[in-house]
Amino acid sequence: MCATVTARTTQAQGSDPAHKVRLDFNRWHDTEELKQDLLTLEKAYPKFLTYSSIGKSYEGRDMMLMTINNPDTGPELSKAAMYIEANVHGNEIQGGEVCLYTIWYLMENYDRIPQVKKLVDERVFYIVPTVNPDGRDYFLHGTGSGARTGFVPVDDDNDGQFDEDPPNDLNGNNVIEQIRKYVPGEGNLRISHADPRILEPVPAGERGDYVMLGMEGIDDDGDGLVNEDGPGSYDGNRNWGTDWQPEYVQGGAMDYPYQLPEARSVNDFLLAHPNIAGVQSYHNSGGMILRGPGAEAMGEYPREDVAVYDRLGKQGERMLPYYRYIVIWSGLYTVHGGFIDWTSDGLGILSFSNELWSGEQYFNSPELKQQQEQDPDSPISPERARYFFDDHLEFGDEYIEWAPFDHPEYGKVEMGGWKKTYGRVPPRFMNEELAHRNMAFSLYQADEMPLVTLGEPTVERIGGDVYRVRVELVNDKIIPTITGKAAQNHVVAPDLLTVDGRIDVVTVGIVQDKFRPGPTDRIDQNDLRRILFHSGLPGETRRIVEYVVRGSGPVTIRYASVKGGTAEARVQLR
């Protein structure tokens, strides 16, 4: 007995499994590095992985796609698919690492973890690590200023010129720093007594010694303004068809929906893959699990959809410490023309958008948080916490100390402040945990996508060549085959139940109580051999269909769902 326990304990606590591909997730990959890692994974797992491109960015970079499918369990379109994307905004880079980690984890653990194997066998994954490769590379290799957007030229100040006055890296350190100026007795800010790096507003009626002059730059076009027309300045998450609004209502929306090449490429891909039943679009930051609608005027989702979202979202809160499950318009801000409004309303896909990383994760001890909130002089008080973390855990890597600089227009100033990654992405040493937890939530969503199966049919001879055939339609997953919003908007093809054989169908109905004989809810459609279910099969549902047929021989019953897969059962009438 002791020997058995010891052996099992040794196995459970043994060294990490030998990885076929070793990748580093506590760093940031540029577009080319992402591509090379994806190709390495494809080469290592050619049966399951297919690397391709769904289109080109404005600057001509590939929008990389990795498809995960086990061909032994069926072609892609026969199975429910999970679409995962990231990096719509160029400075929201950690989503690319989450995508890469997801692909790596599923492949490395396929033969080791039964739950992973089952997921890969039953589902398809379409993963786009960076929707905005132009912005990603600019953020990583350039100063990062303006990298949220892409690089389609926009005239922000309506002067007939495009992107002519961006921020300028005046001291050549590849960072756009903040500028402050010392103006004794004439400012509105003073140095904090708690930390000389912090400027705080002076009390009413007093004067300070400093003013802030914005971000590093000059007036490139001579119009009296600084940094007012940098690259892009549109928003790739406001260019979608559902509830799209013009610029005067929704800033960054561009002139018409799908104007951006990246949006067109993603949309074309989604339309070509109607089997997609789940969407996750990774953004940052704030620690949120977002769902639509993006605007109050759109109205709430149907009650049955809200119940599904709530169940998944609240489970996500348990899996992701410090993340909050919220509705975009009521818990964050109003978004018109947002991506997950399009996928939910326009395509009928259950869709989430995780805002990766919460500042609360810097100090995740309840005792420290209590100290932070109750003691304003604490070194981890709200205004000082990030400095403390950078000093003691990142050794000053994220902060640039204020230093004198002779500005060509402002004269003697000081420049410094946080680097471009501050606040938006986790410290690198914390990124792998972020990747794993968010991947786990997306895999949970993927596992709860609809999965249609059929129970074993039963046959009862009524008399002569007339039979009663019953079959159970099963969807044990939480997500329905057709969401309430999809049925409401008629954007997903109905589920189809067919019966084939040398038979005539007399009647079809839904059994009210499988444990007691009684009438069925009769289905009244023109062709009883092809029954349409316009609302699909709800989640966690078992529905018994009863046929009365006349004939003999083999009969095939088939249930086909665009987003729930296909199932068949056969019986013999004799």
- Lowest mean pLDDT across 12-16, 39-43, 476-480, 527-531: 12-16
Region 497-519: mean pLDDT is 87
Tokens of 64: 């990389």
Same fold, 20-139+234-286+323-340+427-447 and 452-573: no
- Position 1 scores a pLDDT of 43
pLDDT given at position 354? 98
Instruction: Work out the angle at residue 306's Cα, subtended by the Cα atoms of residues 302 and 312, and round it to the nearest 5 degrees.
Output: 150
What's the count of helices (H) and strands (E) in the chain, helices before strands?
13, 22
The Cβ-side half-sphere exposure at 484, using a 13 Å CA radius, reads 11
Extents of the domains making up the chain: 20-139+234-286+323-340+427-447, 452-573
| pLDDT band for position 419 (cuts 50, 70, 90) | very high
CA distance 238 to 250: 8
Q: Which residues pair with 288 in a beta bridge?
A: 324, 355
Structure tokens at 290: 């977002």
Looking at residue 4, its pLDDT comes to 44
Q: Is the pLDDT of residue 193 over 70?
A: yes
Higher pLDDT, 555 or 143: 555
Please tell me the predicted confidence (pLDDT) of residue 9. 41
What is the structure's pLDDT at 11? 42
Asked whether the predicted pLDDT for residue 72 surpasses 80, the reply is: yes
The pTM assigned to this predicted structure is: 0.93
Which residues on neighbouring strands pair with residue 500, listed in sequence order?
556
Determine contact, residues 53/38, Cβ cutoff 8 Å.
no
- Whether 20 has a pLDDT exceeding 80, the answer reads yes
Is the Cβ–Cβ distance between 432 and 193 less than 8 Å?
Answer: no
What radius of gyration do the chain's Cα atoms show? 29
Any idea which of 82-91, 225-234, 310-319 has the lowest mean pLDDT?
Answer: 225-234
Whole-number percent of the chain with pLDDT over 90: 79
- In order of 150, 183, 209, 407, 445, the CA distances from 188 in angstroms are 35, 10, 7, 21, 50
pLDDT digits (tens, 9 = 90+) for 438-496: 999 999 999 999 999 999 999 999 999 999 999 999 999 999 999 999 999 999 999 99
- CA proximity to 149, closest of 30, 263, 53: 263
pLDDT score of 151 more than 60: yes
Per-residue model confidence (pLDDT) at position 522: 87
Identify the weakest region by mean pLDDT among 19-28, 278-287, 335-344, 520-529: 520-529
Task: Render pLDDT for 285-325 as a digit per residue (tens, 0 to 9).
Answer: 899 999 999 999 999 999 999 999 999 999 999 999 999 99
What pLDDT, on a 0 to 100 scale, did the predictor assign at position 15?
A: 58
- pLDDT at position 507 over 90: yes
Residue 17 has pLDDT above 80, yes or no: no
Name the average pLDDT for the chain.
Answer: 92
68-82, 115-129, 371-385: segment of lowest average pLDDT? 371-385
Q: Of the CATH numbers 1.10.150.110, 3.40.1030.10, 3.90.320.10, 3.40.630.10, which one belongs to the domain with range 20-139+234-286+323-340+427-447?
A: 3.40.630.10
Q: Which pLDDT belongs to residue 242?
A: 97
Residue 374: what pLDDT?
A: 74
| Cα distance from N-terminal residue to C-terminal residue, the chain | 56
Helix, coil or strand: residue 37: helix
454, 567 contact by CB (below 8 A): yes
pLDDT (0 to 100) of residue 426: 92
Is 50 exceeded by the pLDDT of residue 280? Answer: yes
pLDDT for 110-140, tens place per residue?
999 999 999 999 999 999 999 999 999 999 9
Decide which of 65 and 376 is more confident: 65
The residue ranges of DSSP E strands in 204-287, in sequence order, are 208-215, 276-284
At residue 2, the pLDDT reads 45
pLDDT at position 12: 45
**pLDDT at residue 10 is higher than 60:** no
- Please state the rounded mean pLDDT for residues 41-67: 98
Phi and psi at residue 462, to the nearest 5°? -85, -40
Our CA angle for 5, 7, 8, nearest 5°, is 65
For the domain bounded by 452-573, which CATH number is listed?
2.60.40.1510
